[in-house]
Amino acid sequence: MNINVATDMPRPWLDHYPEGVMRDLPESYTLTLDAILRNAASTYPERPCIEALGKVMNFKQTIDAAERVAAWLQAQGLQRGDRVAVMCPNLLACPVSVFGVLLAGFTVVNVNPLYTARELKHQITDSGAKVLMVLENFAHVVEAAGVEDMGLEKVVVIAPGDLMGLKGHIVNFVSRKMKKAAPPHGLTGTVRFTEVVGYTGSYERPETDPDDIAFLQYTGGTTGVSKGATLLHRNVAANVTQCDANMGPFLRGLDTDHVMVLALPIYHIFGLTCTFVFMNMGAKLLLIPNPRDIDGFVKTLSKTKVTMFSGVNTLYNALANHKDIGNVDFSSVVFSVAGGMAAQAEVARKWKALSGTPIIEGYGLSETSPVATMNPLSLPEFSGNIGYPLQQTDIVILDDDGNYLPMGEAGELAIKGPQVMAGYWNRPEETAKCMTDDGFFKTGDVAMMLEDGAFKIVDRKKDMILVSGFNVFPNEVEEIIVQHPAVLEAAVVGTPSEKAGEEVTAFVVLNEGQSLDREGLREFCKAHLTGYKVPSILHVRDELPKTNVGKILRRELRDEAEKLVS
């Protein structure tokens, strides 16, 4: 049995890595993201690299454009380590902008384009970003937040058709005139992205250090004040290498040119790291600008043969239940990965029947760059667990006092590895709260180690429901509810109860044409759950509140449920 010397805890997962997957990382591997980008461009120069709205750029074109962005940024007088914010969905200009910031030697601040002016102002002022690159559709939000109030020196405005040539003019016309997607704004002194990416001044390649900050990845906005996870080049580069070590032997053994569906936005940590991981493998990234437009998403998939999917549970569920999904040719698909939230067995069953591939679940957070564990790609069926820790990653399970728990007992999952962040930006007290004395990051997730060293998430600590002293984990109840034939989606929260302290409340979205028999659904749950876990309150909704990447906002539902019973 492999043992972690520092914790005296077993590492049984090392004995269960698939054949061909290395147990450790190479002593020398690339530790900066600019080097990873340049290596990909030199290895696969003519291969297609990114595609959005039908326009493709190869690796050389992509990095050449990014270097022009880098040169323009350097000409603005920014200093090493200065922050540049990018507020753009998955259009061609998004990865080119992100890469440009890194190639210039600066730090990327990824910004959710759906932010309100208040949320945007907090993130820009907290990060100290000096330049903001924003899609024109959201320029009015920048105006409302106040350019001077945020301390911005430059605002670069991106058009959706930028980098698309003549077709881009059509895309811009449709966006501005037909869809009315770009509300008017009064920003002055802005720079068009076309000017930035067309810059002809000299570019100086910086000497990037692995300990330079690559990203400020803001997280925690749904549970409190959003904090910037400080991700160094070495953190994200290590995670790219770890993912390659686990997936490379499987994917490179297939005689195909890979096309990865990137529906998750690049400003989200899952989509961000997928971008680097699969570019590093020479795959083309099929960028989906608006994954909420499932009709448009399915049309795109029906025109393109893809080999790999990445997404969250709600996205797979929406695709699997779409009326036109039968028009999509899944014959080339070899790999489907899920993260960001727990994948449900029923959704995995539907996806396997549709695509022929099981959902391979992994686990991670913004604070871990993000991937900490992963199931083997050779897995024949959905496992229901989050897989094995990646190379050089240790995971322990802690009780409420910080003591290590043995295999099979549930407690807080804590992670230590080269992909773990350097801390929260300018928040040493918050960093101290989430780190143990021996360097483990406390995730806030309840998990247990299985006999083979794989880990299973039980639930988020903050989402746990306490019914008469008994713990109820929402994921478990949701898994049962969505198996009912009338139910499309479900979310479970705890609400105050005079009798039991808390009671289980469920919000459900029904399949088209279905009605809810509340007692029938409760009886269905009783057949699978202990009595105190069965929802005592059921609400029907047309849709569930979700983040921009499809993660269900339980906190919002909890607030709504408490108002309904008050």
Backbone phi, then psi, for 442, in 5-degree steps?
-85, 120
User: What separation in angstroms does the CA of 437 have from each of 217, 227, 360, 415, 449?
Assistant: 24, 21, 33, 13, 22
Residue 119 scores a pLDDT above 60: yes
Cα distances from 140 to residues 115, 122, 145, 186, in angstroms, run 11, 16, 9, 7
Provide the token pair at 38: 């340049």
Which of 438, 441, 407, 405 has its CA nearest to residue 422?
441
Helices (H), 128-232: 139-145, 166-173, 193-197
- What average pLDDT does range 197-204 have in this prediction? 97
DSSP conformation class of 435: B
Residue 510 is inside which H or E element, if any? Answer: strand 501-510
pLDDT for 3 equals: 64
Crossing angle for the helix pair 345-355 and 313-320, to the nearest 10 degrees: 50
In eight-state DSSP terms, residue 114 is: T
CB 504 within 8 A of CB 490: no
Averaged over 166-186, what is the pLDDT? 97
- Please give the structure tokens belonging to residue 297: 């998403």
How high is the pLDDT of residue 461?
Answer: 80
Q: Is the pLDDT of residue 209 over 50?
A: yes
- Answer yes or no: is pLDDT of 222 > 50: no
Judged against a pLDDT cut of 50, whether residue 520 lies above it is answered with yes
Distance of CA 72 to the CA centre of its chain: 29
Convert 158-194 to b/e letters by CB count within 10 Å (16 or more is b): bbbbbbbeeebeebbeebbeeeeebeebeeeebeebb
pLDDT digits (tens, 9 = 90+) for 124-172: 999 999 999 999 999 999 999 999 999 999 999 999 999 999 999 999 9
Strands 455-460 and 394-398: unpaired
Around Cβ 506, how many Cβ atoms within 10 Å?
A: 27
Which of 370, 35, 436, 434 lies closest to 215 in space, CA to CA?
A: 370
Question: What pLDDT digit, counting tens, does each position of 447-486 carry?
Answer: 999 999 999 999 878 888 988 878 888 999 999 999 999 9
Choose among 433, 79, 378, 103: nearest CA to 254: 378
- 342 phi and psi angles, rounded to 5 deg: -65, 130
Q: Give dist(CA 484, CA 487) in Å, integer.
A: 6
- Residues 329-351, mean pLDDT to the nearest whole number: 93
Q: Read off the pLDDT of each residue in 507-518 and give the average, rounded to a whole number.
A: 95
Picking from 236, 234, 228, the residue whose alpha carbon sits closest to that of residue 211 is 234
- When pLDDT is averaged across residues 295-312 and rounded to a whole number, the result is 95
Please tell me whether residue 15 adopts helix, strand or coil conformation.
helix
| Amino acid code (one letter) for 210 | P
Q: Which two tokens stand for residue 77?
A: 């007088």
DSSP code of 387? Answer: B
